[in-house]
Amino acid sequence: MLHTLSVGELARRLAAREISSVELARHFLARIERLNPSLNAVITLTADQALEAARAADRRLAAGERGRLLGIPLIHKDIFCTEGVRTSCGSRMLDNFISPYDATIVAKLKGAGTVMLGKSNMDEFAMGSSNETSYYGPVRNPWDTTKVPGGSSGGSSAASAARLAPFTTGTDTGGSIRQPAALTGVTGVKPTYGRVSRYGMIAFASSLDQAGVLARSAEDAAVVLEVMAGFDPKDSTSVDTPVPDYSAALDAPLKGLKIGILREFFDGLESRNAALIRDALEVYTAMGAETIEVSLPHLPLSVPTYYVVAPAECSSNLSRFDGVRYGYRCDQPKDLLDLYERSRGEGFGPEVKRRIMTGTYVLSAGYFDAYYLKAQKVRRLITDDFRKAFEKVDLLVGPTTPTPAFAIGAKVDDPVTMYLNDIYTIGANLAGLPGISAPCGFVDELPVGMQLIGPHFSEARLLSAAHHYQRATDWHRKTPGGYQ
């Protein structure tokens, strides 16, 4: 079956003309039509555009052109602007917004010959840890449709896990690629801040947001990240540094690699989750890696720090949605103030309003120094902890999430408990570091993820470490029942 093949295997078959891109697109479009109603992972299907792009890819292939993504289908998270296609960000505020341009990563992947099948559901404006805050309803985990898939890239991760596309795109502000990847049993990569352009990605927290990829394996993710990454003059936060050949680096030997075990990540971790991470570390040891326990003393402060910094930036970024220029506008406003108040009150959901209010408060006169400035100082301490750790080790390893997927509705009324789901992922965002989550086992028949974090611009080493682990295990090959 075509949906069981890796990106590399599909590319080889396309190049050999054993299958066509049109055939491939139709196969995945049919799977979405059949399987998506039970998941709610895809909210916009672009069948006509997909078939047109597939025909163009077939013409390029027939002319002898070759590319590792030429003719390969994908699904974009609905936070990336896509020319001529609705870009809603999971919000009523942008339900009617048709983007006039492509985000840089959309343009890059389109130039490589990929075929966009549609846009995936997400937490509203990427604010959430469970994909329950979307205007279009919650996404369901294909391993158990009563459970959440994680957020905010839960639509992308669920689509990847259910094999609705060979790979999907996502964004990670506080763990929103790695956390859903762990809860749905796929591989999720968050690159270094500035490695992938943010141009055309609707902003939540500008100093934290980073685009990335969700795929079956580190090998597939490496192929995609090579295309996505690179300097973009349209993005002032983009870093002008060469992009390595991630695929070529996958087989770099692990012997002598120093892996740091994060002491703080195991404090209070559920015992069965901890056992799976310890088992994964034994696999690395058997392959010649050395494990060293390290401590990041300020890391436990990452959650409160994040929930000051991120809402502050969200308050600023979302001020543009006022009902005047584009997006949702209330009916028959009495005056300008009524237009602002009702458009924003009706257009935003509860979680977005909560974060805007929090962010406005911490930035207000009299509270800026007490909250926002102090949070930025703690952020520096957390970054310094990581820097000191990487003087001793090459990578850090720990769990991606404290528990497997939880029930839909279980935490939606308790924001603080919900926020703690990102306790192991937020630190990397505050420090701008790259991270990857890879499947490492199951608890109660639900997938569990192992997280690898590296120094800035160490994506090649992270992908290689995950790839070696996946060659030695088969957790990443598991597919949820009913989606094989």
Q: Which residues are catalytic?
A: 77, 152, 176
Count of CB atoms within 10 A of residue 37's CB? 10
CA-to-CA dists, residue 211 to 8, 276, 393, 461, angstroms = 22, 28, 26, 19
DSSP state of 476: G
Q: Show the tokens assigned to 305.
A: 């720090």
Choose among 170, 284, 218, 141: nearest CA to 476.
218
Amino acid at 127: M
How far does CA 144 lie from the centroid of its chain? 20
Burial, 315: exposed, middle or buried (Cβ in 10 Å; 0-12, 13-18, 19+)?
Answer: buried
β-sheet bridge partners, residue 118: 45, 75
Q: Give residues with Cβ within 8 angstroms of 19, minimum separation 6.
A: 2, 10, 13
CA-to-CA dists, residue 364 to 213, 315, 367, 369, 423, angstroms = 36, 11, 6, 9, 27
DSSP state of 484: -
State the Cα–Cα distance between residues 115 and 21, nearest whole angstrom: 8
* Pairing state between β 187-190 and 446-453: unpaired
DSSP state of 373: I
State the Cα–Cα distance between residues 332 and 334, nearest whole angstrom: 6
Which helix (H) or strand (E) is 292 found in, with range?
strand 290-294
For every residue of 83-109, DSSP letters joined together read TTBB--TTSGGGTT-B-SS--HHHHHH
- What does the CA dihedral 293, 308, 368, 344 come to, rounded to 10 degrees? 160
CA-to-CA dists, residue 55 to 25, 175, 200, angstroms = 10, 36, 26
Is-contact 317 445, C-beta < 8 A? no
In sequence order, which ranges of 332-445 are alpha helices (DSSP H)? 336-347, 350-363, 374-389, 415-419, 426-431
Amino acid at 39: L
**C-alpha atoms less than 13 angstroms from C-alpha of 115 in its C-beta half-sphere:** 33
Is-contact 355 362, C-beta < 8 A? no
What does the angle CA 91 – CA 93 – CA 98 come to, to the nearest 5 degrees?
Answer: 90
What does the angle CA 439 – CA 444 – CA 449 come to, to the nearest 5 degrees?
Answer: 20
